Chains A and B, each alone.
Chain A
Amino acid sequence: MKIKRGLLAISVGTLLGGAIYLPLRLQAASEPPSHFVPPPGAGGVVVGLCDGETSIEVPWLKPGQRMTNEQARAVSNSLMSKWRERHPNAEWQMAQAGPNQAMAPAQAAPVQGGVYERLTPREQKIADIETAKFIEEGKEIFHDPGKLGGTIGVSCDMCHPDAANTHPETYPKYQTQLQRVALLRDMINWCIENPVKGKPLSPDDPRLRALEAYIISQRNGAALAYGKH
C-alpha cells in the first residue's frame, strides 16, 4: 500500500504542480519573456543574450558608457561562444537564407539584389513604357516655344539639338551668374527665362520634370562629374 500511496502522492503533486505551473507558464508566454540578468559582481555591466538565459559581465564597462564598434563586437562574440558552449549541437540560423532553404521565393528572407530584381517582366514593360512616354513629353516641350511658355519663338533645340551640350551630369555646380549652386532644373529655368523669354517653371511643374527627364535620357551613360565647368 505504500507504493500506491506514493504513486497517488506523485500524481496529485504533478497535477497540483501542473495546475499552478502551467497557467503561470502560459501567462509568461503571452507576455514577452523577461530576462533575469544577475547583478554585476565586479562593478561592471552585465550584458544579456536574447535567449533569455545567457549573460556575461563586462567588468571595465561603466553604466551609461558607450562602447566602440570593436569593443561591442568582442562582447557579443564572447556571449555567442558562451551560448555555443551550452548548446554544442545547435545550428545557428544566419539571418540570410542560404541555397538550402526549402521555402518558396515569395516567403524568402530579403535577397541580395533588393526589390528591383524582383520586377516581373510585365512590371518591367510597364515601367519602360511609362518612362519612354514621359521622356517623349519632355522632348516635345523641348522643341516647342509655345509649350515652354516662350514669347519670342525660341526653343531649347535651337542651341541644343538632341539635347547636345546640356551636360546634365555636371550638376550640381556653383554658377557665379546665378550666385548659387545650380542644379539642372535651375539652368533649365534660367534658359526659359532668358533666351526663351518665358516664365520660369515651378519645381513641381510636370513640364520641368519632363524636360529634365528628356535631357538626362539623352546623356545616358555619361559619367557623373558634378562641379565640372
Chain B
Amino acid sequence: MPARYKSVETKYMEERDRVLRALRKLDRRTFLQVSAAAAGAVAAKGLVTPHSFQLVEVANAAVDKKWAQTGEKGNPPFTFAYISDTHLYTKALNERFVRGALKAVEDVNALDPQPDFVLFGGDLAQLGRADEMRLGAEILKEVKAPIKIMVGEHDWFLDMGETWQELFGPPSYSFDWKGVHVVTLMSVYEKDFWTARHMSPDERMHTVAGLDNGIQSRFEVGDAGREWLKNDLSKVSTDTPILIFSHSPLYKYYRPWNFWTEDADQVQEILKPYKTVTVIHGHTHQMLSNRIGNISFHGMLSTAWPWPYAPEGLPKLTIEMDRADPFDQFDACGNGRFNVAEGGLVDAVYNLWDRNPVTITYRYLASNGSEGRPPDPKSLSY
C-alpha cells in the first residue's frame, strides 16, 4: 500500500501508542480520574472492553494533545488553596472571627496532597491595627504550605499601608509558577475622601470598613498600578497563562457597596491580549463567577461573615450560594482551592463550611454556562 494510506491496524496501533505515552505522563490523581472516567464510560456503553482508546483521551480533556504526541514537557497542573477575608479583631474583643480563621487553617493543613501554596486573599485585619495584623500573621504561620499574601482595604486605610508593608512586603508583586505567570495586584486604592472632611485615621478606617455608607471613594488600581501591571506583563508572551490575584473584583458589579473597580475597563484592556487570564478576587464574601472576553473571574469566600447578593449587577454566570442561616455561625463562610490544569485553565472549588462543596469549572465559564453547570441553590437571598 502507498505510504499515505494507513491500514486500520496501523492507525489503531499509533493511537494506542499516543494514549499510552500520555498515560505515563499523567500524575497519580489525574490518572485515577481518567481511568475512573473510562471505566464509567465503558460501563455506560455496556461494553466489556473498550473497542477504542479514544474514551481515555477524551476523558482527560485538559491533556495537551501536542504534548502527549511529542512527549514535550508542558505546564504541569497544580493546586493552590486560599484563605480570605478573615477580618480579625484582637482575641480579647472578638473570638468569632478568630475561630473562623483557625478553622480555615485546619482545613488547608488537612488537604492531601498539600497544595503548592496558600493564597491569603486580603482583609486580614478588620480595623487595620498592628495588633490585629500581628494576630493574623501568627495564625497564618500555622499553615504548612507557603503563603502568598495579598492586601485588602481593611488592612490599608488606618495607616495607609505602613504596618502592612513592614510585616508583609510590597502590595503588588509577581512570580512564575509551573509555567503560569502569577500577579498579585493592589486594587483597593481610593482617591482622597478624608482630607476635605478632616477625618482622623480612625474615622477614615471606620468609613472604609463600612460597606454601605457611600462616603468612601470607589476602589481603583490607579494610574501607577496600571503602569506597573502593563510593564510586568510585557515581559511575558501572550500565550503564557496569567493568574491575577486582586482584592477588588476588577470588574463592575455593584457600585454602592464598592463591589467595584473604577478603572476595571482599563485593566481589562491591559489583560486583553493574553489568551488565558484568570482573576481571583476577595472582598465580596460570596460565591461569584464571571467571564468577560478572555478573562475568567472567581470570587473567594470569607472566613468571617457572608455578604448577601447585591440587588443588581450580579454577573449572569454566577451560581448563587444558598443564603446564610443566621443560626449557624459558620454557614456561607469557608475557604477553597483552585485546580490549575494544563494551559492555565482554572477550576474553582468552594469549600463552604456546613455545606457540600461546589466546583465552578473552566469549562462552565468558557462555554458561557451551557456545559458543566453546578446545581442551583434552593434558598436565594432576597
Contact = CB atoms under 8 A, between A and B. Distances in A.
Contacts of B305: 158-159
25 contacts: A143-B210, A143-B213, A152-B95, A152-B96, A153-B89, A153-B93, A153-B94, A153-B126, A154-B94, A154-B96, A159-B305, A159-B307, A159-B308, A161-B257, A162-B212, A162-B256, A162-B257, A164-B308, A164-B310, A165-B381, A165-B382, A190-B326, A194-B326, A195-B96, A195-B329
From B93, B212, B311, residue with most partner A Cβ within 10 Å: B212
A174 to B, nearest CB: 14
Contacts of A152: 89, 93-96
Contacts of B94: 152-154
Interface string B189-209: 000000000000000000000
Interface string B307-329: 11011000000000001101101
A47 interface: no
Given A161-B211, A167-B382, 20 more contacts: A143-B213, A152-B93, A152-B94, A153-B89, A153-B93, A153-B126, A157-B210, A157-B211, A157-B212, A158-B305, A159-B306, A159-B307, A161-B212, A165-B308, A165-B323, A165-B382, A177-B327, A194-B326, A194-B329, A229-B379
A79 interface: no
Interface string B323-348: 11011010000000000000000000
A195 B328 CA distance: 10
A37 B133 CA distance: 94
Interface in A158-188: 158-162, 164-165, 167, 177, 187
From B308, B323, B329, residue with most partner A Cβ within 10 Å: B308
A165 B379 CA distance: 12
A191 interface: yes
B86 to A, nearest CB: 14
Interface of B: 89, 93-96, 126, 210-213, 256-257, 305-308, 310-311, 323-324, 326-327, 329, 379, 381-382
Interface string A54-81: 0000000000000000000000000000
A157 B305 CA distance: 11
A102 B78 CA distance: 90
Contacts of B213: 143
Nearest to B87: A158
B119 to A, nearest CB: 23
The dominant DSSP class at the B interface is loop
A64 to B, nearest CB: 57
From A157, A158, A177, A229, residue with most partner B Cβ within 10 Å: A158
Contacts, number: 52
B308 A195 contact: no
Contacts of B257: 161-162
Nearest to A229: B379
Contacts of A177: 327
Interface in A178-229: 187, 190-191, 194-195, 229
A153 B329 CA distance: 16
Interface string A76-116: 00000000000000000000000000000000000000000
Contacts of A190: 326
Contacts of B381: 164-165
A191 B326 contact: yes
A164 B379 CA distance: 15
A194 B306 CA distance: 16
Contacts of A143: 210, 213
A143 B212 CA distance: 9
Given A152-B93, A153-B94, A161 B307 contact: yes
B170 to A, nearest CB: 30
Nearest to A164: B308
B101 to A, nearest CB: 15
Nearest to A222: B382
Nearest to B324: A159
B60 to A, nearest CB: 41
Contacts of B382: 165, 167
A16 to B, nearest CB: 88
A143 B95 CA distance: 20
A200 to B, nearest CB: 15
> Shortest 7 CB-CB distances between A and B: which pairs?
A165-B308, A161-B212, A152-B94, A161-B211, A164-B308, A165-B381, A177-B327
A221 B371 CA distance: 38
A194 B126 CA distance: 19
A227 B256 CA distance: 31
A165 B381 CA distance: 6
A176 B381 CA distance: 20
Contacts of A159: 305-308, 324, 326
Contacts of B306: 159
A229 B382 CA distance: 11
A159 B307 CA distance: 6
A108 B95 CA distance: 66
A165 B126 CA distance: 22
Interface in A126-157: 143, 152-154, 157
A158 B89 CA distance: 14
